[in-house]
Structure 1
């Protein structure tokens, strides 16, 4: 039986790796928790979002969240709002994954047309990267 404390689980993207050992002493197995670096940022339309890994030499491996429109929440708990551009996540992935740092202008020209948005909406770009 495997038991994992609930504080280790997130609402999404959990990974559990099990190793099966036969013929040896399982009490000698060591478990380690690693911290994967996550960095977030948010800028309003017309501004440029600059993101980078905290450790020199690390590259951005994944985009956990990327939305241009009216994203809600705060770092590590961003959620999509009621409107979003058509290409936000793919544009952020192309600009950032594999790089040590990246810059993205928060605009419809770069991130795609917004759908279902009111004209008085204050637009922003929110991104969470993993290094």
Structure 2
């Protein structure tokens, strides 16, 4: 919707909100350059209604679907534990489990299983899902460790612990480690 100015959008009669070109995302691009349409709003045939309040060109509106079969997780040694790991007992917040160490968690949609590890790096990877890169330090066996924990399963958890990655790279001991993982579900 990069060609649009300011207005509102409806998909099959359901509002997905307002857009305007001077409201910038953290990437300094107009927010309507990427607009999320919940899949629950979509049907085999769809009606999109745009109420444009300024000059805009609806020919620049493009709908792109996202492949949800590629999933990712990135977690660092300093990540706090998930709130799902706690419960309230007698007015006090208590952990549900004994191990609150960070871990990467991957869950395939539907009844799919993890069939391939497309990226794995324990060290200082950077980027985002679909565009991860290996940094200056990475455990060489990162992919094999993730495959051991995840291949053939509908979901998996990989502990963020150097014991599992036998981090022998002495040059990286000063780093706070991050585990970035991208897998394919089918």
Greater relative contact order (Cα < 8 A, sep 6+): 1
Candidates 59, 71, 83, aligned match of 2:125: 71
Q: Which stretches of structure 1, 4 residues or longer, exceed 2 Å deviation after superposition?
A: 116-120
Q: Which has the larger radius of gyration?
A: 2
Structure 2 length as normaliser, TM-score? 0.48
* Deviation, structure 1 residue 116: 5.4
The residue that corresponds to 2:169 in the other structure is 115
Cα RMSD over matched residues? 2.0
Equivalent residue for 1:130? 184
Matched, 1:42 2:74: yes
TM-score, L = length of structure 1:
0.67
For these two proteins, the number of residue pairs brought into alignment is 98
Structure 1: which 5+ runs fail to align?
A: 1-34
Q: Which runs of 5+ in 2 are unaligned?
A: 1-66, 78-100
Task: Mark the CA change 1:44 to 1:62 in structure 2 (over 3 Å): closer, same or farther.
Answer: same
